[in-house]
Amino acid sequence: MRRVAFFPFLSLLLIFLLSSCGGGGGGEESTSTPGAAPIATSVAATSITENSATLNGTVNPNGLATQAWFEYGTDPGLQTPSSSPRQDAGNGSIAQPVSTNLGVLAPGTTYHFRVCAENSGGYSEGQIMSLTTASPGSPPAVTTIAATSVGVTSATLNGSVIPNGLATDAWFEWGTDPALAGYSTTGTQAVGSGTTSQPINQALTGLTPGTIYYYRLAASNATGSAIGSIASFTTESLLSFGVVSTTPTDNATDVPLGSIITVTFTRDVDPATLVGAITVSSLIGDLPGVISYNSTTKTATFTPGTPFAPLTVYTVTVETKVKSEDGVRLPAPYIFSFKTCSASLPGAAPTVSTLAATSVGETGATLNGNVNPNGLPTDAWFEWGTSPTLVTFNTSSTQALGAGTNPLSVTATLSGLDSGTAYYYRVAASNATGSAIGSIAGFTTASLPSFAVVSTTPADNATDVPLGSTITVTFNQDVEPASLVGAITVSSLIGDLPGVISYNTTTKTATFTPGTPFAPLTEYTVTVADKVKSVTTVRLSAPYVFAFKTGSAF
C-alpha cells in the first residue's frame, strides 16, 4: 500500500502564499527551492546484463537532509513496486547522482523504474523509465539515451545495445519529423556478440541552428531487429552567442586610470579569434594593450600597455571576427564606452578597481585589484565568499598602502577553497576621508578530475580465460586502499568466488587473487562497488561491472 504524503501539499500552500505576497518566484523544475521537497529525476539505466542492471537518477535535496531510493518492477505503472535500500542524498541545493545495482533480474524481461526521494519538506518521485535485460539468442535490446554536446550545428547521439549473444550491428535513425516517419540513418556500428549493454555514440554535424531534431537507436542481429524510444534535442540559435557583461560598464564614469577592461561572453570563445579583436580608442588615439582569455569564466581581458589618460572618454569595440568554439560569430560589433577619473583626488576617499583573479586551481586562487590612496594613508583588503552579491563574506588580511597618489597593485592568495565552486570577491579600501569598495568579480575553482576505471584483465566479454588467472582493475587516479576492502566481488551461477584484494599505487591497479581456481567454461561477473574512493576522496560515480568466460579444463 502506498502512503499518502501531506508534506507536498503544505509546501505548495506555502509557495502559493509567498507568491501572493511577492515573496515567491517562478522557475524551471530543476531550480533549487531551499526548504522544499526534493526534486527527483530518473536517468537511463546502465550496465545491463541478463540478470543485473544499474538504476540511475539525480536528487536535489533543496537544502534539507534527504533520503533517496528506487522503485522498480515489471508493471509499467509501478503500482506494487519493489524498493531498493534507502541512501543518503545529503542536504545540498544542487542535483546529486544516485544509483543502485540490481543483481537478481530475469533474462529477456522489461523492467520499469523510477527514483524517489523524501525530506522534511515532502516526497517526490521521478518519471518512470524502462530497461530490458539480455536474452541470449534473441533480438538485441536497445535504449535511446539523451543527446550530448548539442551546439549550433552539431550534436552527439547516445544509446546502449545488448547484443544478446549474437553478432549485432547498431545505428541511429534521425530527422525533424517527431514520429520519424521519414528519417536519415547514421553509419552502422558493429557492437559484438556479448550479453552486456554496450554504449553507442554518433556525432552529427551540418545541422540547422535553432531546430528540433528527433532520433532513436536501432540494432539488428540474426534473430531480428529492435528500435528504441524516440528522443529529441534542439540545436542552439545562431544569435545565442554574444556579450553578457563588461568592466567598466557602458557609460561608466570616474574609472580609475590603472583599470583593465574585461568582456564576458555567453559561450566559450575560440581564443585565436580574439587576436586584434578588441580595440580601445579615444580622441587622442588608440590605446595599445594585450588581450588574454579565461575559458572558465568565458572572459577576455584587455590589459592596457599604458595607463588611461585622465578625464578621457574611451570607446571599446569588440569585432564580429570573434567566434565561439563551435564557429558562431558575433552577429554585430559590440561597442561600449566609459570616462576616466582625474589624475588623482588628493584628500578624497581611496579609488579602487577589482581586477580578474589569477592562478585559479582546485583549492586556491589569487585575488587582484588596484587602489589609489589619493594622498592619505590607506588600508586595503578583499571581501570574498560564495554569495554572488556578497551579502555575507570573508575578508583577507589588511594591507597598508601608504599615502601616494598613484594606483597600487593589491593581491591576496586564497587557499583551502572547495573544488568546482563559484566564488565572488571585490577589493575594498579606506582612509581618513572614507571607504570604497570595487565591483564584484568572480571565478570558479577547477573541479576534481573524474574518478573511473580505465582497464581490466580479463577484458569485458573476454572468453577462454585461463583457470589460474587473476583479475586486475586499473584506475585513472590513485586509490584509497582502505576503500577497496570488500569492494571487488566475483560471482557466477555457482556462487561468489572468494579471493584477496591487493593494490599497487605505482600502476593504480587493484588485483583480485582468487582463493580457488575458476571453474571451467563458466561465465563470471566482476563488480567494482562505488564505495571505492580516490586519495582525493572522489568516489566512483556508479558500480563498474564487467564479465568474462573461462576456458575448458584441458
* CATH code assigned at 543: 2.60.40.1220
Whether residue 195 is found in the same domain as residue 159 = yes
pLDDT at 30 exceeding the cut of 50: no
Helices (H), 260-379: none
pLDDT at 16 exceeding the cut of 70: no
Class of residue 1 by CB neighbours under 10 A (exposed 0-12, middle 13-18, buried 19+): exposed
Q: Which residue has the higher pLDDT, 365 or 405?
A: 365
Question: Strand, coil or helix: what is 127?
Answer: coil
Q: How is residue 276 written as a grid cell? A: 586584434
Report the pLDDT value the prediction gives residue 344, as an integer from 0 to 100.
59
CATH code assigned at 303: 2.60.40.3710
Whether residue 310 is found in the same domain as residue 354 = no
Whether residue 354 is found in the same domain as residue 371 = yes
Nearest to 338 by CA among 269, 409, 411, 263: 263
Whether residue 181 is found in the same domain as residue 97 = no
Nearest to 434 by CA among 354, 370, 374: 374
Helix (H) or strand (E) run with residue 19 in it:
helix 7-20
Q: Is residue 47 part of a domain?
A: yes
| Ranges assigned E (strand) in 272-350 | 278-282, 285-286, 289-294, 299-304, 313-318, 334-340
Final residue before a domain boundary, out of 195, 210, 234: 234
Taking only the tens place, the pLDDT of each residue in 34-55 is: 668 899 999 888 888 888 999 9
Q: Which amino acid is at 481?
A: P
Q: How many structural domains does the chain have?
A: 5
389 alpha-carbon distance from chain centroid = 24
Q: Sheet with 351-358: list strands edge to edge.
A: 351-358, 365-372, 408-414
Whether residue 229 is found in the same domain as residue 298 = no
How far is Cα 201 from Cα 66, in angstroms, rounded to an integer?
34
Final residue before a domain boundary, out of 323, 342, 361: 342
Q: How confident is the model at residue 449 (pLDDT cuts 50, 70, 90)?
A: low
pLDDT at 10 exceeding the cut of 50: no
pLDDT at 466 exceeding the cut of 60: yes
Q: How confident is the model at residue 17 (pLDDT cuts 50, 70, 90)?
A: very low
Nearest to 266 by CA among 299, 301, 233, 303: 299
Length of the chain: 554
In sign, the C-alpha dihedral spanning 34, 298, 389, 384 is positive
pLDDT at 7 exceeding the cut of 90: no
Report the pLDDT value the prediction gives residue 104, as an integer from 0 to 100.
85
Q: Which residue has the cell 576503500?
A: 483
User: Which distant-in-sequence residues (6+ apart) come within 8 Å of 79 by Cβ?
Assistant: none
Helix (H) or strand (E) run with residue 463 in it:
strand 462-465
Average pLDDT over residues 206-211: 88
Nearest to 528 by CA among 450, 452, 449: 452
Q: Is residue 259 part of a domain?
A: yes
Nearest to 129 by CA among 218, 217, 45: 45
Report the pLDDT value the prediction gives residue 418, as an integer from 0 to 100.
86
- Stretch among 190-199, 281-290, 344-353, 457-466 having the lowest mean pLDDT: 344-353
Report the pLDDT value the prediction gives residue 345, as an integer from 0 to 100.
60
Q: Is residue 20 part of a domain?
A: yes
Report the pLDDT value the prediction gives residue 343, as an integer from 0 to 100.
65
Radius of gyration for the alpha carbons in the chain, expressed in angstroms and rounded: 29
Whether residue 403 is found in the same domain as residue 333 = no
Instruction: Find out whether 441 and 248 touch, Cβ atoms under 8 Å.
Output: no
Whether residue 107 is found in the same domain as residue 205 = no
Helices (H), 398-541: none
How far is Cα 280 from Cα 264, in angstroms, rounded to an integer?
16
Within a 10 A sphere around the Cβ of 455, how many other Cβ atoms? 12
pLDDT at 220 exceeding the cut of 80: yes
Strand 252-255 to 334-340 pairing: parallel
Taking only the tens place, the pLDDT of each residue in 52-110 is: 999 999 999 888 999 999 999 999 999 999 999 999 998 887 888 999 999 889 888 99
Taking only the tens place, the pLDDT of each residue in 249-279 is: 999 988 877 789 999 998 899 999 999 999 9
Instruction: Find out whether 353 and 380 touch, Cβ atoms under 8 Å.
Output: no
Percent of the chain predicted with pLDDT > 90: 56
Average pLDDT over residues 227-253: 86
Report the pLDDT value the prediction gives residue 21, as an integer from 0 to 100.
33
Q: Is residue 389 part of a domain?
A: yes
Within a 10 A sphere around the Cβ of 66, how many other Cβ atoms? 27
Whether residue 47 is found in the same domain as residue 96 = yes
Report the pLDDT value the prediction gives residue 391, as an integer from 0 to 100.
87
How far is Cα 540 from Cα 376, in angstroms, rounded to an integer?
56
Nearest to 378 by CA among 423, 344, 355: 344
- Stretch among 23-27, 212-216, 234-238 having the lowest mean pLDDT: 23-27
Report the pLDDT value the prediction gives residue 14, as an integer from 0 to 100.
34
pLDDT at 355 exceeding the cut of 70: yes
User: Which distant-in-sequence residues (6+ apart) come within 8 Å of 451 by Cβ?
Assistant: 475, 476, 477, 533, 534, 536, 538, 539, 540, 541
Kindly report the average pLDDT of the chain as a whole number.
Answer: 87
Whether residue 70 is found in the same domain as residue 127 = yes
Q: How is residue 42 written as a grid cell? A: 530518473
How far is Cα 444 from Cα 423, in angstroms, rounded to an integer?
6
pLDDT at 289 exceeding the cut of 70: yes
Whether residue 33 is found in the same domain as residue 125 = yes
Report the pLDDT value the prediction gives residue 346, as an integer from 0 to 100.
65
Q: Which residue range forms the structural domain that includes residue 408?
A: 344-447
Q: How confident is the model at residue 330 (pLDDT cuts 50, 70, 90)?
A: confident
Report the pLDDT value the prediction gives residue 25, as an integer from 0 to 100.
34
Q: Sheet with 544-550: list strands edge to edge.
A: 462-465, 544-550, 523-528, 488-492, 495-496
Whether residue 353 is found in the same domain as residue 436 = yes
Average pLDDT over residues 117-136: 90
Q: How many Cα atoms sit within 13 Å of 446 on the Cβ side?
A: 14
Average pLDDT over residues 429-444: 89
Helix (H) or strand (E) run with residue 96 in it:
strand 96-102
DSSP tag of 545: E
How far is Cα 377 from Cα 400, in angstroms, rounded to an integer?
8
Q: How many Cα atoms sit within 13 Å of 210 on the Cβ side?
A: 6
Q: How many Cα atoms sit within 13 Å of 121 on the Cβ side?
A: 23
Percent of the chain predicted with pLDDT > 70: 92
Whether residue 332 is found in the same domain as residue 356 = no
Report the pLDDT value the prediction gives residue 310, as an integer from 0 to 100.
85
Q: Output the DSSP codes for 78-89.
A: -SS-EEPPPEEE
Instruction: Find out whether 343 and 312 touch, Cβ atoms under 8 Å.
Output: no
CATH code assigned at 37: 2.60.40.10
- Stretch among 159-173, 340-354, 492-506 having the lowest mean pLDDT: 340-354
Nearest to 115 by CA among 86, 148, 135: 86
Report the pLDDT value the prediction gives residue 22, as an integer from 0 to 100.
34
Q: Is residue 240 part of a domain?
A: no
Final residue before a domain boundary, out of 296, 318, 342: 342
pLDDT at 26 exceeding the cut of 70: no
Taking only the tens place, the pLDDT of each residue in 369-397 is: 999 898 889 999 999 999 988 988 999 99
Q: Is residue 466 part of a domain?
A: yes
Average pLDDT over residues 176-190: 94
Q: Is residue 2 part of a domain?
A: no
Report the pLDDT value the prediction gives residue 241, as an integer from 0 to 100.
83
Q: How confident is the model at residue 246 (pLDDT cuts 50, 70, 90)?
A: very high
Helix (H) or strand (E) run with residue 54 in it:
strand 53-60
